[in-house]
């Protein structure tokens, strides 16, 4: 089975469309959360995701906030401004779709899916070997797919010496999956690994491979919509440099 794994779309419809077109035909799509937040296109993104066949989708922290299950005060000022805007413009049907989703970690075959981490699905960032090592104790599948950090990478646990290594994965370099791993497909709509291209991954369940991928999209077009919507300038500027 060929699975498209995406995360952190963040209301960037142009990036999402580029990813869906670049990925081509897949059997399933797994979305690790944060459909909204930061970007200018919350309704277009949610509607596009809703129409994806064979979809498994979970909530991220921005999603949970916009549907009223987390206070906006939990976020910094710029992120809060975007959430207030999204709450105002999101349609009732798109809100209902998001309210029906879960923020809990989910097992899909050999993979555990979580937005932030299997230990704390909404808020915890897995950014280093210390946080990764702790989280290996919170899932029992061979590998775990997470988002939230917006960084395309993997953590590998060597069970013989109990050490964890971090690897910045390379686009188009196929990774043969062996227990135990935590993998991040990166962010579709707001990468933070200094590569502005939209990030995602292809997971082949039978071959047990993971292929990180990047695709260019019209960043200037999204920046224009951010400014026209009155969203923070920072959210536009950072798209150009991937930070």
Mean pLDDT of 47-55: 98
The pLDDT value given to residue 2: 98
- Say how many domains are in the chain: 1
User: Is the Cα dihedral 52, 198, 184, 45 positive or negative?
Assistant: negative
Full residue range of the structural domain in which residue 150 is found: 2-241
Amino acid 48: pLDDT: 98
Minimal CA–CA distance to 44: which of 34, 54, 36?
36
CB 187 within 8 A of CB 6: no
Residues 6 or more apart whose CB falls under 8 angstroms from that of 240 comprise 196, 219, 223
- What pLDDT is stored for residue 73 in this prediction? 94
Q: Can you name the residues that pair with 39 across neighbouring β-strands?
A: none
Residue 50 sits in a domain of what CATH number? 3.60.21.10
> What is the average pLDDT score of the chain?
97
Contact in structure between 175 and 211 (CB atoms under 8 Å): yes
Indicate the pLDDT class of residue 138, thresholds 50, 70 and 90.
very high
CA 98 to chain centre: 15
pLDDT band at 131 (very low <50, low <70, confident <90, very high): very high
Name the token pair of 13. Answer: 């419809």
Confirm whether pTM is higher than 0.95: yes
Q: What are phi and psi of 114, to 5 degrees?
A: -150, 150
Residue 21: CB atoms within 10 A of its CB come to: 10
């Amino acid at each position: 089975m060929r699975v498209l794994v995406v995360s952190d779309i963040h209301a960037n419809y142009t990036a999402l469309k580029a990813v869906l077109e670049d990925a081509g035909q897949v059997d399933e799509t797994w979305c690790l959360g944060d459909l909204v937040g930061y970007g200018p296109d919350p309704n277009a993104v949610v509607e596009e995701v809703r129409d994806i066949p064979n979809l498994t989708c979970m909530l991220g922290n921005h999603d949970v906030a916009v549907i009223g299950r987390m206070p906006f005060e939990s976020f910094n000022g710029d992120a809060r401004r975007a959430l207030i805007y999204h709450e105002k413009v999101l349609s009732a049907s798109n809100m209902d779709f998001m309210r029906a989703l879960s923020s809990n970690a989910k097992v899909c075959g050999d993979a555990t899916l979580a937005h932030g981490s299997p230990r704390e699905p909404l808020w915890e960032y897995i950014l280093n070997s210390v946080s990764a090592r702790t989280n290996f104790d919170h899932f029992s599948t061979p590998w775990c797919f997470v988002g939230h950090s917006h960084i395309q990478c993997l953590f590998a646990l060597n069970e013989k010496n109990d050490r964890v290594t971090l690897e910045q994965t390379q686009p188009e370099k196929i990774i043969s999956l062996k227990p135990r791993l935590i993998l991040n497909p990166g962010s579709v709509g707001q990468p933070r690994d200094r590569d502005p291209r939209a990030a995602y991954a292809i997971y082949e369940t039978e071959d047990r491979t993971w292929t990180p991928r990047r695709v260019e999209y019209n960043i200037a077009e999204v920046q224009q919509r951010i400014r026209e919507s009155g969203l923070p300038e920072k959210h536009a500027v950072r798209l150009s440099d991937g930070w």
